[in-house]
Copies of this chain bind each other. A is one copy, B any other.
């Protein structure tokens, strides 16, 4: 099922080169102020154009089909669609025989007996994150004063931002691609969001994060490093009623503890690279050379922080809306 959430339920649909993509957000309270300009900033953050991102440009204008009247949500399902305009489907025809390494081309064709839409990755395209960002805009409005900030902290292992431009240019020149690490910090949360076990905040947030294409890891607070610490180091005694170190990343027993919610995600390097790759031709039954001519990001992690924020906002709004 392409849905997520219990109180705020998000359902996404669409293929990269189909008529359009979109999202239904069900459960939005009535009376939330919303107009189309509210989407601009986050859509721009996700959009292509910056160094290291694809030159494919879409108008990316949200069209609200339902659930909005006179600048306020109505309480019924809010539906937002985006038309797909600038598509060059011819680029993708070869991928039935020569599936792109690291993409879903092959598994999708097997799963759906060849009826999948292979154009531009179809439903697996990163383009599906556009309606997610739109849904995130709505979720952030619901969250009020709670602030969510996701940032790229590493590109290709490089943590010094000043070196990123050179690294990106060098990688573009090499016809290669890069991954990165994104850190997300949320402040202003009440104590007690989430639940024990299956509804733990970590479960809900990681579920959302791993939905984003190309994520390889999620860690909270001290994360993997915690496994190498002793209890006496890792434990976080209360000082003046608050955990002092926040190595748990704002979560105890699956519940928010009122401290800053902190997690990091690992983004893989873009699978589509400019240089030729030697891979299997399933039609011929032999190795062949694949050249991916589409327009792709050299480092899609650059565009991912706003998606991480959107997902986080959706998970939190689901907890806070009644």
Interface residues of A (CB under 8 A from B): 1-4, 6, 9, 11-15, 18-22, 24, 26-27, 30-31, 63-69, 72-79, 81, 99, 101-104, 106-108, 110-113, 115-117, 119, 122-124, 128, 154, 156-157, 171, 174, 176-181, 191-192, 195-200, 202-204, 206-211, 213, 215-224, 226-243, 248, 252-257, 266-273, 275, 277-280, 282, 285, 287, 290, 301, 322
Contact = CB atoms under 8 A, between A and B. Distances in A.
B230 A280 contact: no
A191 B108 CA distance: 9
Copies in the complex: 4
A246 to B, nearest CB: 12
A73 B116 CA distance: 8
A218 to B, nearest CB: 6
Given A74-B122, A115-B69, A237-B277, A229 B2 contact: no
**Secondary structure call for the A interface:** mixed
A136 to B, nearest CB: 14
26 contacts: A2-B199, A3-B9, A14-B77, A15-B67, A15-B74, A18-B68, A18-B69, A22-B79, A30-B111, A30-B113, A30-B115, A31-B112, A102-B248, A107-B191, A107-B253, A154-B228, A174-B230, A203-B211, A206-B206, A218-B218, A227-B267, A230-B269, A231-B269, A237-B278, A241-B280, A241-B282
A13 B77 contact: yes
Given A13-B77, A252-B107, A235 B191 contact: no
A282 to B, nearest CB: 6
Contacts of A270: 231
B154 A104 contact: no
A44 B111 CA distance: 35
B235 A101 contact: yes
B1 A6 contact: yes
